[in-house]
Structure 1
């Protein structure tokens, strides 16, 4: 049974989440503030954390940072904060996904199940040298990509982007992190760079670039690689 820690101070929302999650065979723990959340996260070791950012004692961003010091547990943010800046802050702090309130319960459950699956998958290690999909393979050591038995030529920038995404499978990587890691701090607002280079990667790797299967966009937030 998947253990979910719900961190939320809205009593009615907690009740609705508990009813819906337990009906689908999740084991639910709840915390109404950041201190209780951190205590339960370390003591009970949940499989997924659903976290509101607007907590009464500790900001949710700081809760994420504390959890990330010792744990890679998937964190799904559930927040009324709608701005791109807030979403990027949460993702940069270590959140895996972000759902804004009000939300569809079906959407939340789908994202929660996806987060749980990512948590079950072994994290990539230094021993993982080749990532293989149904359409292409990436050799991380040789820095080569093959598709349909031919080598795909990537520019250094395209390779750097692809490498970051495939070494974080299933995890949303924020636009800001990609821009900082690939282009540097002076380009942190140049999201048009990402659109151009991701389009190039999709043309080279995706069977249908207009409906990508592997290189997924989360509008206004970032990108993820789904293997």
Structure 2
């Protein structure tokens, strides 16, 4: 397994948790969504607090990232009996505004990062907030996620299928992780390209990467990596459905 030789600590990563990003500034929203998606989270973005409340009533999220400078941000702090579950909140806030009242979606599960923010700080605070919620299906230990006998240990950057260690390149590891945390969900080539390389790649490059990974992962039965022709790729037991 190949690792990074930069000597810099690895950025905190997710395991497919669902995050709601609430930001009116399109540049801030784009940066947050791209960063969090590349880090392994599933993202839904809205531009106003009222839209966020509507989504929270209808859907389940593991965490909410809120730009506290939104003009209608106080709408998130009002009593909401219709919210059966209040996820933890990470606030992005100007340093001068720290003494102001800020929305409390999750009592006791709230943190903040001052603006302008560093990506590493956002990822670290998100991980800390999620650690207290018990989210992250498929975890088998600190820093590890799994599906059946397939285990990825992010603390060691190591992948195993049963007792066999998989010799993966960094790109293969990122692809396998993206497939694993989205098990039974078809991922398009565009989604894979963004996650693995941070941008679009040609179909041929993605097909070759999937083919190499499949040869390494699926030496053991049952096969876990599958093609949905015309749509993309998914990971899981075929007899469990896609």
TM range (shorter): 0.3 to 0.5
With structure 2 as the length reference, what TM-score do the two structures score?
A: 0.44
With structure 1 as the length reference, what TM-score do the two structures score?
A: 0.46
**Structure with bigger RCO (C-alpha 8 Å, 6+ apart):** 2
